Copies of this chain bind each other. A is one copy, B any other.
Amino acid sequence: MVFITRRERFNAAHKLYNPDWSAEKNLEVFGKCSNPNWHGHNYELFVTVKGEPDKVTGFVINLKSLSKIVQEKVIDKLDHRNINMDVDFMKDKMPSTEVLAIEIWHQIADDIRTAGAFLHSIKLSETENNFVEYFGN
Contacts and interface: CB of A to CB of B under 8 A. Distances in A.
A5 B130 contact: yes
A99 B58 contact: yes
A119 to B, nearest CB: 15
A81 interface: yes
Contacts of A79: 32, 39
Contacts of A99: 53, 58
B132 A81 contact: no
Interface in A28-49: 29-33, 35, 37-42, 48
A137 to B, nearest CB: 7
A102 B2 contact: yes
Interface in A7-56: 7-9, 11-14, 16, 18, 29-33, 35, 37-42, 48, 53, 56
Contacts of A59: 96, 98
B41 A4 contact: no
Interface of A: 1-9, 11-14, 16, 18, 29-33, 35, 37-42, 48, 53, 56-60, 62-64, 79-82, 85-86, 93-99, 101-102, 127-135, 137
The 5 closest A-B CB pairs, nearest first, are A40-B40, A58-B96, A58-B94, A32-B80, A37-B82
